[in-house]
Amino acid sequence: MSKDKDAPKDKDDTDDLDDLERHQLALIHWQQQAMAAGEKALIIFEGRDAAGKDGSIRVVTEHLSVRSTRVIALPKPSDRQRTQWYVQRYVRHLPAAGETVIFNRSWYNRAGVERVMGFATADEIETFLRDVPAFEQMLLESGLKIVKLFLDVSKDEQAQRLLERKTDPLKVLKSSPLDEAAQLKWDDYTEARDEMLKRTHTANAPWICVKADKKKRARIAILRHLVHALAPADIAAEVDAPDPDVLFAFEPAALKDGRLER
């Protein structure tokens, strides 16, 4: 079962809570400014299964405006949607002025689960990897701010979290028929991740990698990064830079030096 919410907190827990609230407050200050200025923001959460995307998104959105913040987690495409331009069903959810949209998985499904599970052809995957940087550049030129986060987790930690989904009744709704493949096809997912990061990381829409075995550290690093990536300088100055041992911009060397899980 999950830890009792009402259990006494030790000093580290209190410090973590203070950090979370301070960074959440900075996000509130950013969103107030963004809403007034009519800015548009898109935050993409990708990562391995059980890497903590849901929990991180909850922390990010906890105190943001309900009316101006939307979290999008699309189900598998319908038969009709499979005949459409691949990103068409995502485009309709993009933000208007003053809005923030968070994709809990995104068009990058094509480069990840669809590739590994055989839901897309090799030609479809190649077309996506070739075209998506240009597509994102078009979005940027329209005035949209884009933050792309990839949450990475070790194989052992992933196995433990997937087991908790089966045994903790509070987490049962997180389970998916694809959970078993996360471990069985670990190497395939690693290969897919590597190619996706290398081919879709650009100067204007970079991938930001997050080592997510330690949930609290990962969430604080994500909050800090979002403030620095989205907020004006006076608001960003309120928040420390993310811990580089937890969060870093992708570079090919990270595929070999141990920063990303193999």
* CATH number of 130's domain: 3.40.50.300
Q: Number of structural domains, the chain?
A: 1
Asked whether residue 115 is domain-assigned, the answer is yes
Q: Beta strands of 21-129 (E only): which ranges?
A: 40-47, 69-72, 100-104
Assign 15 a pLDDT band (cuts: 50, 70, 90): low
CA distances from 235 to 22, 34, 206 (A): 12, 12, 22
Q: Of all residues in the chain, what percent carry a pLDDT higher than 70?
A: 94
Asked whether residue 112 is domain-assigned, the answer is yes
Asked whether residue 25 is domain-assigned, the answer is yes
Asked whether residue 181 is domain-assigned, the answer is no
Asked whether residue 161 is domain-assigned, the answer is no
Asked whether residue 166 is domain-assigned, the answer is no
Asked whether residue 175 is domain-assigned, the answer is no
Min mean pLDDT across 1-15, 170-184, 189-203 is at 1-15
pLDDT of the residue at 1: 40
Assign 6 a pLDDT band (cuts: 50, 70, 90): very low
The whole-angstrom separation of Cα 209 and Cα 249 is: 6
pTM of the model: 0.94
Assign 11 a pLDDT band (cuts: 50, 70, 90): very low
Residues near 26 by Cβ (< 8 Å), separated by ≥ 6? 223, 227, 231, 235, 236, 238, 239
Asked whether residue 178 is domain-assigned, the answer is no
- Nearest-5° Cα angle at 20, 52 to 165: 25
Segment 16-33, tens digit of pLDDT: 778 899 999 999 999 999
Domain region containing 221: 11-156+189-255
Q: Where is pLDDT greater, at 62 or 238?
A: 62
Whether the per-residue pLDDT at 79 is higher than 60: the answer is yes
